[in-house]
Homo-oligomer: A and B are copies of this chain.
Amino acid sequence: MKKLVIKDIAKLAGVSYSAVSKTINNYPDISEETREKIQKIISKYNYCPSKSAQTLRSGKNNNIAFMSGRVASHFTVEILGAIEKRTFATGKYMHGIIPYSTNYDTAIMNEIFDKILYGREASAIVALAMNPPPGILQKYRKAGIPAILIENYMENAHTVNIDNKKAGFMAAEYLLKGGRKNIGIICGGLKAGSKFGYSYSAVERKAGFDAALEQYGVKPGDEYLEQCGNYTIAEGIEIFDSIMENEKVPDAIFCASGDMTAVGVMESAKKHGLKIPDDLAVVGFDDSQCSAFVNPPLTTIRQPIEEIGTEVFDMAVEAIGSKIKGFRHVVVEPELIVRKSAS
């Protein structure tokens, strides 16, 4: 059972192999009759065109590269899941979503950006919380490969974000209205080149957070600002352990870095004998799958993941089809989910 190629199908159907190709690609200039005859043979013999040949010849492969620090992180997975769901909803799962992870390593990130661009491994690239190296976005532009940034903002790329400032503001305001005075924040890196690097969303969330503090007359101090790098429960524990070594201990923590951090913070706090929310209020971020079930249930900021996934996928498909002029910047609304950890 040799693998069938387009020529075999053509012979079996008694047509030229251009006709087969045209049928596969839904070209209009082919008679209904011929098309049907060919379709029948294709189904009968289970013929699948070689993707590499199609890609090589046409210069397009319709793959969407999805780049993130770690595929197996909560947020990445949920975004990927939302995109996946959309592919099924639209019936367009022909667009292969290919995940690339950088392992949070800038050198690997650069290499992947190059590989996708120069090796033509995808027709569009989606990058989650990535800071593309300077100049690369223009190269993508020139090569006709649209780039979509999630959790980042750049003029010369499409972007999809929640309103991070608003999210930070909402979290702080909720805590302030609850009477908290010494509110800390844990977030991703705030500065390029520093240990934790630069995270657009961290900077925005912190800005909103600070704005709320100021508006309520609380002077934002840096004593409870902590940055973090890998967004895990273990890291949350570690950070709050170190906070407990300070003289003053905060009465609230906003984990802009995500629910996993928040779960870690709560674990550490409980271990140190603090009652949640009485002694310490905790607000997370992302409304991860298990946030409603941890102890106590976590108050958090929800990102409308499905909406983000839908936007990203549709945008990628449209952009591959060159249907977008200029750059599109989508901002979606965050939502405060009140549970028990910060009441």
Contact = CB atoms under 8 A, between A and B. Distances in A.
Contacts of A115: 48
A47 interface: yes
A156 interface: no
A3 B118 contact: yes
A139 B1 CA distance: 9
A154 interface: no
Interface of A: 1, 3-4, 46-53, 55-56, 61, 70-72, 74, 77-78, 80-82, 84, 88, 96-99, 101, 103, 114-115, 117-121, 139, 142-143, 233, 260, 263, 266-267, 288-290, 293-296
- This chain: how many copies in the complex? 2
Given A143-B3, A293-B267, A294-B295, A120 B81 contact: no
B77 A71 contact: yes
B56 A84 contact: no
A119 B293 contact: no
A50 B116 CA distance: 10
B98 A84 contact: no
A260 B288 CA distance: 13
Contact of A121 (B4, B51, B82, B296): B51
Nearest to A81: B72
A49 B119 contact: yes
